[in-house]
Amino acid sequence: MSFPSPSGDRLRRESRSMINYLNSQKYVDAAKKQLEPNVFNHSLALEACMSGLFDYFKINNLLGVNEPEKDDWMLAGFLHDIDYSGEFKPTHPQKTLEALAKYGLTIKESVHNLIKAHAPDLTGYQPKNKAEWSIFCADSLTGLIMAVAFVYPSRKLADVKLSSVVKRLLKEPKFAAGTRREDIKKCILPEGLNLPVEKFVEICLNSMKAVASADTEIVKFNYFFNFLAT
């Protein structure tokens, strides 16, 4: 059974609302201070994927009654590596709350659970709903998509083809060898996202492209998305 994906225009509107939500500045400012640029960029990418995945499941009436709110999906994607730097890095991802407290910030339990779900081997917290499976499966995919963009002559995310990402994911294990391919491919599990690999990659790729092309402040200060944007 196939389902429609959000259109490019829809995704662009969603990306703007996502960025406006984050532009309360408190979480953005903390992440910019705490994280190295490459980790900050990855955080933006995962947040974009979480926004797109929520939209897909919402449009197709595939969200359970106990799923977190969209803001929780996005914020967890943005903050999932907030402790992957400085004094907290050796114990990542178990120091999320401490890293946020350093900046006087807190998060809801639902957001914290989502963050724990992105690395169950380190936290002992297993994904239980679509939000948690989404962050688990998409985490490593963002890096693969970025790596594919950099081998294109234009080095632009806008030019990346879905087939290129899927090929390197499934048939070229030596490409971006650090990619946790088995985690990504768990998107097919019926108890998880129940999505074909190609559809899962498509949603995340389109979501990242939408953020890269959005004319917003969060894009302007981020050299990675500025570099890859059309």
Listed residue (149, 163, 115, 120) closest to 230, CA to CA: 149
Residue 44 · residue 218 · CB < 8 Å: yes
> Residue 157 and residue 4: Cα distance in Å, rounded?
22
More confident of the two residues 2 and 137: 137
Question: Which 8-state DSSP code applies to residue 66?
Answer: T
Question: Which 8-state DSSP code applies to residue 69?
Answer: P
Report whether pLDDT(35) > 80. Answer: yes
* b/e burial code for range 116-129 (CB count within 10 A of at least 16 → b): bbbbeeebebebeb
**In this predicted model, what pLDDT tens digit does every residue of 142-163 receive, in sequence order?**
999 999 999 999 888 999 999 9
> Residue 23 and residue 104: Cα distance in Å, rounded?
17
> Residue 48 and residue 34: Cα distance in Å, rounded?
20
> Residue 92 and residue 86: Cα distance in Å, rounded?
10
Confidence band for 214, pLDDT divided at 50, 70 and 90: low
Amino acid identity for residue 134 in this structure: S
The position carrying tokens 């499941």 is 57
Listed residue (157, 203, 201, 220) closest to 19, CA to CA: 220
pLDDT of residue 93: 87
What's the average model confidence in pLDDT over 97-106? 94
**In this predicted model, what pLDDT tens digit does every residue of 51-97 receive, in sequence order?**
999 999 999 999 998 999 999 999 999 999 999 988 898 889 889 99
> Residue 75 and residue 106: Cα distance in Å, rounded?
12
> Residue 76 and residue 31: Cα distance in Å, rounded?
12
**In this predicted model, what pLDDT tens digit does every residue of 111-135 receive, in sequence order?**
999 999 999 999 999 999 999 999 9
Confidence band for 17, pLDDT divided at 50, 70 and 90: very low
pLDDT of residue 222: 42
Record the tokens describing residue 178, joined without a space.
């650090």
What's the average model confidence in pLDDT over 174-199? 97
> Residue 98 and residue 165: Cα distance in Å, rounded?
36
Residue 225 · residue 211 · CB < 8 Å: yes
What's the average model confidence in pLDDT over 170-184? 96
Question: Which 8-state DSSP code applies to residue 152?
Answer: S
> Residue 30 and residue 121: Cα distance in Å, rounded?
26
pLDDT of residue 24: 64
